């Protein structure tokens, strides 16, 4: 099966909504994407879609976040959320390809790290480590092994301890 990855365009929005609803079997992530698009900090080039023919089969969104602490200036980073692959296309490498493309796009935009709250058996395949390794914490209670970070350049998170400050739509999520 052939597909390519590109930045989303407005014509993709309905397919991306349906894709997130399908992959997560609920509306939460689809609504999160729509709310994040309305944020001033939203960067269109960091919302990526995997397309086969005219069909969106995967989506990944990176949103700017800050890592703050009392002892240093805030550090800019990105949050990877959500990432969805259509149910009929899972376990085919599309999610991994989206992550690899997201790393490249993040670097091109000047970001040096990515934070993710996700499956602890999946994201480490792509270089993510528990964020606690970098002394970075989530603002809400989550399992340590599920809250991860990756440095896109060596030592990008060195001396960046603190708590991640997410855009408000993340903090308004309900399960």
Q: In this structure, which CATH number among 3.40.50.970, 3.30.360.10, 3.40.630.30, 3.40.720.10 belongs to the domain 4-171?
A: 3.40.630.30
Residue 137 pLDDT > 70: yes
- The CA-based angle 51-54-55, given to 5 degrees, is 60
pLDDT, tens digit (0-9, with 9 covering 90-100), for 140-163: 999 999 999 999 999 999 888 999
pLDDT, tens digit (0-9, with 9 covering 90-100), for 71-97: 678 999 999 999 999 999 999 999 999
Global confidence as pTM: 0.95
Q: Which two tokens stand for residue 11?
A: 């014509």
The mean pLDDT of 92-116, rounded to a whole number, is: 98
Q: Strand runs (DSSP E) across the chain, as ranges?
A: 4-7, 47-52, 55-68, 75-85, 113-117, 129-130, 136-137, 147-151, 162-165
Q: What is the pLDDT of residue 175?
A: 55
5-21 burial code (b ≥16 CB/10 A, e <16): beebeeebbebbbebbb
- Separation between Cα atoms, residue 148 and residue 17, nearest integer Å: 25
| Partner residues linked to 49 by β-bridges | 6, 59
* All structural domains of the chain with their residue ranges: 4-171
């Amino acid at each position: 099966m052939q597909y390519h990855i590109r930045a989303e365009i407005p014509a993709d929005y309905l397919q991306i909504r349906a894709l997130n609803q399908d992959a997560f079997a609920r509306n939460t992530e689809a609504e999160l994407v729509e709310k994040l698009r309305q944020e001033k900090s939203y960067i269109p080039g960091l919302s990526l879609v995997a397309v086969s023919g005219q069909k969106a089969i995967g989506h990944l969104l990176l949103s700017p976040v800050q890592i703050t602490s009392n002892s240093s200036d805030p550090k800019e980073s990105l949050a990877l959320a959500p990432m969805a692959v259509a149910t009929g296309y899972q376990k085919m490498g599309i999610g991994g390809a989206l992550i690899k493309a997201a790393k490249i796009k993040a670097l091109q935009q000047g970001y040096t790290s990515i934070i993710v709250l996700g499956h602890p058996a999946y994201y480490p395949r792509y270089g993510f480590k528990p964020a606690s390794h970098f002394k970075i914490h989530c603002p809400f209670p989550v399992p340590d092994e599920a809250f991860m970070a990756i440095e896109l350049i060596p030592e990008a998170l060195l001396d960046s301890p603190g708590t991640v400050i997410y855009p408000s739509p993340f903090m308004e999520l309900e399960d």
